[in-house]
Structure 1
Amino acid sequence: MGLALVFITVVGIYVFDVYRNIDSTTNEIYEPVDEEVEQVRSSSADLNSKEPISILLLGVDTGDLGRTERGRSDTMMVVTVNPNTKKSTITSIPRDTYTEIVGYGTSDKINHAYAFGGNSMAINSVQNLLDIPIDYYVTVNMAGIQEIVNAVGGVDVVSPLTFSQDGYTFYQGEVNHLDGNAALAFARMRYEDPEGDTGRQARQRIIIEGVVNKVTSASTLVNYQNILGSLSNNVQTNFQMKDYLALQGNDYLAAARNITSEQMGGSGGIGDDGIYYNWLSEDELYRVQSLLQSELELD
């Protein structure tokens, strides 16, 4: 009985310490969206009622290659999490996609929305393009990818092609265990990929899936402080502690472990202004809109 009491006490102290640190980090990275964000839903998504949610992931180039300005969102992905189907879908939006920049009075590459107006303008532009609500956002500094991957102990990936980048070589079909530097090299290569930016986005999704798998595993419990530290230095989000707690139940966690990938297509070309854009056909835009609306159970 004495040993049991000691064990329960130690576990209780540990759990309290974990909660306290998570709560502190949550407050540090919390950045609410401002009033300029258009509210597409009549009310906020109800996590306690197992309502599917959408998350806009923005990988910004602030801090990458020594940059200090706000930069652009060179990675844009919409994640839908459906606890009813226990499925999540990551849909990549090509950064050069030509669309209306909501609130700026012009049309341009969608990754310029973040440069022009930050998270709010990026959210509004994606909502307008895809005709869905964005419930949450997560902005990650590309310069912090190394730190986050290192914090989770590295990630295992299978390379879809053979290539070299920044002193690293990846072989098609082989399992590679990547530390932070290797993960950044794996995710950033574009010019050697026959699919160009589309191929790069596919590799970025592979890294994200690897991080998610690590974070949702039991092994993170012994390393949670390093993970929290990497997040507080490199992440901004409107998730709050109550949201994280709700996501632990109601099958959201099961959905996060069952990820499928989608890629918004289009065709690249030079516009009248001499700048390269990704042009979406009506059929492709309708396909992606219908897919996401179905995942969010909006149809």
Structure 2
Amino acid sequence: MRETRKGLKIWQKILIALAVLVVGVGVGAFIYANNMLDKLDKVDVDKDKLGIVNVDGYINFLIMGVDSRDMDDSKGSRTDALILVSLEEKTNKLKLTSIYRDTMLKMGDSKKYDKITHAFAYGGAKDTIKSLNQAMDLDIDKFVVINWKTVVDMVNAAGGVTLDIEDYEINEMNRCVEETARVVGDGKYTPITRAGKQTVDGYQAVGYGRMRHGVGDDIKRTERMRTVIEALLKKLKKSSPKKIDKVLKTTMPLIKTNIKKGDIFSLATRIPQYKIVKSESFPYKYTGGMIDGAYYLIPDTLKSSTIEFHKKVFGQKGYKPSSKAISISNRIEEIAGGSNYIVDPSVVSPKSEEPENKPDVEKPDEKPDNNNEPDKNPDVTPQPSPEPQPEQPPEEPPTPSPGDSPTNPAG
């Protein structure tokens, strides 16, 4: 698990930072950025083992945020955040897709079906990526891994980010802020005291992205993590070279990736033109409930969500999933159709977020927090759903036969 964490956000920031340095400052900055990239912790993964399904016209990479406190010892960690970044090469449009961590999928090359968050514990970035590629017909072969500390340090180096906090979120957010400060810092933190749009520091941003119990659980948390990522991207895109220099020096040593230096520069030269036009979560429809004492999010169905995903993100109308993706979808339906699945009626899929033919439009930047007044935007009331906290999964989990029910790796 030494490969990702809220890296999702961080990777984009790095690219933006490099763009400013390379494009805006010139050759000297290019050499400087080149030296900074040498500080990245490179991880090699055999691309032939990632289950790649080609998607023309797009560059897809995965940001993985792991629950490891120490990036040098992430073995056995799980992914708290999984964000797929899809870049349309012709238009420079960015589309972010968060994967719900409790989603049941096939684990890598094994016959085991489990939560996608546990794939990292079984086989690191490789198993996580292959689990997504084979279930969603993707060609992910690039990734970034970060942890709590990476995000804390990046947000602080950037001077904080702007978030719109709801009143009902404050207590649980402060609990997570305190825990984050205690685990990855010196324990000193500033609690949130009011609702509304405001600038938050690193501990507060991570606390906002991590909270879930009683405030929407995993469904809402996935949205919050993506919100923090977008806020950080926007902040860095507007930052001065001096501030970006500070961010790079602070966070480069805390990031693990398999992206080659040449690819980074190729992407970086176009970053000033990048536009975030879509931000959603996968699967689009689902149910939630317990199987043998463990909580799972069951796609309804994986096949239909994969078809919708390819239409929304890649513009592929009438997409036909691969036989592999269909097989995985069918197996999940079989498992969920068994008598062991106890559905939680409070877990409800959101309604479609947009009309059929709505064009991609760049998401507007946040307005500055001039008078500390909260926005009048409508909010969605979160649906609570109890979720047991799993223990660490075993390093070498047993592989059940295809007919077995999923086993929680946490025991």
TM-score (norm 2): 0.60
Which among 55, 62, 68 is matched to residue 61 of structure 2?
Answer: 55
Corresponding residue number in structure 1 for 2:297: 278
Alignment partners' CA distance in 2, 1:253 and 1:160: 32
Alpha-carbon contact 1:163-1:171 (below 8 Å) kept = no
Alpha-carbon contact 2:52-2:137 (below 8 Å) kept = no
Alpha-carbon contact 1:152-1:220 (below 8 Å) kept = no
- What does the per-residue CA deviation read over 1:205-226, in whole Å, with 9 as the maximum and x for residues that have no partner? 1110111112222x24112332
Corresponding residue number in structure 2 for 1:185: 207
Shift in CA distance, 245/69, structure 1 to aligned 2, threshold 3 Å: closer
Alignment partners' CA distance in 2, 1:261 and 1:290: 14
Task: Give secondary structure in 1 for the equivalent of 2:213.
Answer: coil
Alpha-carbon contact 1:136-1:239 (below 8 Å) kept = yes
Alpha-carbon contact 1:55-1:80 (below 8 Å) kept = yes
Alpha-carbon contact 2:119-2:127 (below 8 Å) kept = yes
Shift in CA distance, 86/268, structure 1 to aligned 2, threshold 3 Å: same
Stretch moving more, 236-245 or 175-184: 236-245
Stretch moving more, 289-298 or 235-244: 289-298
- What does the per-residue CA deviation read over 1:79-129, in whole Å, with 9 as the maximum and x for residues that have no partner? 211243442221111111111001233111111111110111111001112
Alignment partners' CA distance in 1, 2:100 and 2:272: 28
1:107-256 equivalences in 2 (<5 Å): 107-159=113-165, 162-164=168-170, 165-166=174-175, 168-169=191-192, 172=195, 174-193=196-215, 195-217=216-238, 219-249=239-269, 253-255=272-274
Structure 1 regions of 5+ residues with no counterpart? Answer: 1-10, 46-50
Shift in CA distance, 90/186, structure 1 to aligned 2, threshold 3 Å: same
Corresponding residue number in structure 2 for 1:99: 105
2:44 is the alignment partner of 1:25:
no
- What does the per-residue CA deviation read over 1:180-203, in whole Å, with 9 as the maximum and x for residues that have no partner? 11111111111131x211111111
Alignment partners' CA distance in 1, 2:88 and 2:167: 31
1:258-269 equivalences in 2 (<5 Å): 258-264=276-282, 265=284, 266-269=286-289
Alpha-carbon contact 2:119-2:131 (below 8 Å) kept = yes
Alignment partners' CA distance in 2, 1:212 and 1:77: 14
Task: Give secondary structure in 1 for the equivalent of 2:146.
Answer: strand
Alignment partners' CA distance in 1, 2:44 and 2:74: 22
Alignment partners' CA distance in 2, 1:94 and 1:170: 29
Corresponding residue number in structure 2 for 1:34: 46
Stretch moving more, 233-242 or 90-99: 233-242
Alignment partners' CA distance in 1, 2:60 and 2:304: 18
Alignment partners' CA distance in 2, 1:279 and 1:71: 22
How far did 1:171 drift? Answer: 5.0
Question: What amino acid does structure 1 have at the position aligned with 2:209?
Answer: A
Alignment partners' CA distance in 1, 2:100 and 2:312: 21
Alpha-carbon contact 2:53-2:134 (below 8 Å) kept = no
How far did 1:163 drift? Answer: 1.8
How far did 1:37 drift? Answer: 2.3
TM-score (norm 1): 0.80
Corresponding residue number in structure 2 for 1:8: none
Task: Give secondary structure in 1 for the equivalent of 2:231.
Answer: helix
Q: How many residues align?
A: 272
Shift in CA distance, 274/156, structure 1 to aligned 2, threshold 3 Å: same
CA RMSD of aligned residues (A): 2.7
Question: What amino acid does structure 1 have at the position aligned with 2:299?
Answer: L
